[in-house]
Amino acid sequence: MTTKVISATVDEAGVHTLVFDIARTDTLSSNVGKFYFEKAKNIRDLRKIAIEAGLSLHKEADREAVLERVRALQERTDWQTKKTAVSKRLAKKGLSKKEIEEHPDILAIGDKTSYDAANAVKVPYLFQKAKVRVLVGNTVNRDFDPPNLWPTVKGLTDGLTDCAWWVDDNFNYLTEVSFGYGERSPEKKTFRFTLVVEPVA
């Protein structure tokens, strides 16, 4: 029961297809709540495999620049995580918001309040605009609602955003996301996600 990339392909029409097998324990569903720390770990893991798959479909000459962008985004995430943890620790001691902002422990973390470092990396985006068709194969042979797994797909599209498939996954660039039934994974307790990404004129 392993979450992994199965395939990443692109055809002559520019349609990019990614296939993932995602263990049931690694999925996020609108029907099943998870503790914050567990949800955060799942999202990190989903972004990671999406970056792995997405990077492979960039031109080889562009991959180092894409990786540089990914590293810059990760540094900012690490900075935000550290700052949040320190802020919570100081808040528990009764410090005010102003006292926390001026505390030496916060000042020592430094400032990375924007995405400037990542955006400064010049990378060619694979899509100016795109639409995504998500096909989900259930873990068992019975009816289910694929759109309930949108939170899982969001983790994957965030990873594709990180590795410069598009500028952002808001409606200006990702114009449509639709769901359907797909083939099942041969692995037990594993969903198969197929993302078919088409350019939009």
Residues forming a β-bridge with 17: 9, 196
At residue 34, does pLDDT exceed 60?
no
Whole-angstrom distance, CA of residue 106 vs CA of residue 37: 22
Express each pLDDT in 79-121 by its tens digit. 888 899 999 999 999 999 999 999 999 999 887 655 566 677 8
- Give mean pLDDT, residues 42-52: 95
Residue 168: its H or E element: none
Q: Other C-beta atoms within 10 Å of 154: how many?
A: 16
Rounded to two decimals, the pTM is 0.85
Segments making up each domain of the chain, as ranges: 1-58+124-201, 61-122
At residue 33, does pLDDT exceed 80?
no
The whole-number pLDDT of residue 45 equals 93
Question: How much of the chain is in helix, strand and coil states, percent to nearest 5?
Answer: 45, 20, 35
**Fold type of domain 1-58+124-201:** 60s Ribosomal Protein L30; Chain: A; (3.30.1330)
User: What does the DSSP assignment read for 66-98?
Assistant: HHHHHHHHHHHHHHHHHHHHHHHHHHHTT--HH
The whole-number pLDDT of residue 87 equals 94
